[in-house]
Amino acid sequence: MLREKALSLHKRFEESLHDGEKKTFKASKGWLYSFVQRYKLKNLKITGESASADIEAASVFPQHFKTVIEEGGYVPEQVFNCDETGLFWKKMPNRTYINKEARQAKGFKAFKDRLTLVLCANAAGHIIKPGLVYRANNPRPLKNKRKDCLPVFWQHNKKAWMTAILFLDWFKKCFIPEVKAYLEKKELSFKVLLIIDNAPGHPESIKFEDENVKVIFLPPNTTSILQPLDQGIIKCFKATYTRMAFGRIRDAIDADRNSDVMGYVFEKTTK
């Protein structure tokens, strides 16, 4: 982000220079290192915990999964995987350059507003409407708005957590109609295989909700190895979200030189 901004500034200033005054500027990694050292910026990293995986159980599951697909005659368009992930949607990146004197990213603790996303896609790469669980049913920006017109399936819970009731609601009111419409468009029969992990919010009863949807639970403690969406897809989604958010912040600051990053985030997310 710093390198992109430096290039855009260079391009802007270069327009006012004569040909003999112009110099090549690439905003290289070497330039970034020198910039960080010159202004005594520090790179902070906040690390998280990782759970241990059951390697033995994970090694047995693929063969079982293959058998289910072959016996059921499923094609990639009919094989779906879903997973939940928490998103601190106001949060700055884990690695943030700040003044050395501060030692802690400004506002990092202040913006911990969390929501839960339900991401779902099939083996052919089709993505259905995400589910979203927020702590309020009607936050200020959505008052008097039709939630069925949102690009997400809106749900609420005081702690913004996925519960068994909410998951079943998402399954019946979002997953089923979305998948039905998709398969009908593809001229495929409504015969679906859904792979989910054994999280507390995923009730066993979901197996009996629809006779055309076969639900397979991943073995306990194998999510990091077997969960398809956990193999870098959710990570890429969050990286893209952060990049797009910073792009909007950058554009807003370019439009109003009196604004700053944290001020913009606070203003735009509390109105």
Q: Which residue has the tokens 């949102």?
A: 150
Residue 99: what pLDDT?
Answer: 41
Show Cβ contacts of residue 180 under 8 Å, excluding neighbours closer than 6 positions.
190
Q: Which band of pLDDT confidence, cut at 50, 70 and 90, is reported for residue 100?
A: very low
Provide the residue type at 114 as one letter: R
Nearest to 93 by CA among 202, 239, 263, 228: 239
Residue 3 in this model has a pLDDT that exceeds 70: yes
Question: Phi and psi for 82 in degrees, rounded to 5?
Answer: -135, 155
- Beta-bridged to residue 131, according to DSSP, are 118, 153
pTM of the model: 0.70
Q: Please report which residue ranges of 73-198 form alpha helices under DSSP H.
A: 164-170, 176-185
pLDDT over 50 at 271, yes or no = no
Q: Once rounded to an integer, what is the mean pLDDT over residues 230-246?
A: 87
The rounded distance, in Å, linking the Cα atoms of 75 and 148 is 30
pLDDT score of 108 more than 70:
no
Average pLDDT over residues 38-46: 66
Cα separation, 255 vs 242, whole angstroms: 20
Percent of the chain having pLDDT more than 70? Answer: 79
Other CB atoms within 10 A of residue 143 CB:
7
58-93+106-270: CATH number? 3.30.420
Nearest of 57, 86, 61 to residue 195 by alpha carbon: 61
The amino acid sitting at 79 is V
Q: Coil, strand, or helix at residue 192?
A: strand
58 Cβ neighbours under 8 A, 6+ residues apart: 219, 222, 225, 226
Task: Tell me the per-residue pLDDT of 151-202, one tens digit each, with 9 for 90 and over.
Answer: 999 999 999 999 999 999 999 999 999 999 999 999 999 999 999 998 889 9
Tell me the pLDDT band of 58, cut-offs 50, 70 and 90. confident
List the chain domain ranges: 58-93+106-270
Looking at mean pLDDT, say which of 13-27, 126-140, 255-269 comes out highest: 126-140
Q: Which residue has the higher pLDDT, 9 or 110?
A: 9
Q: Which one is predicted more confidently, 240 or 36?
A: 240
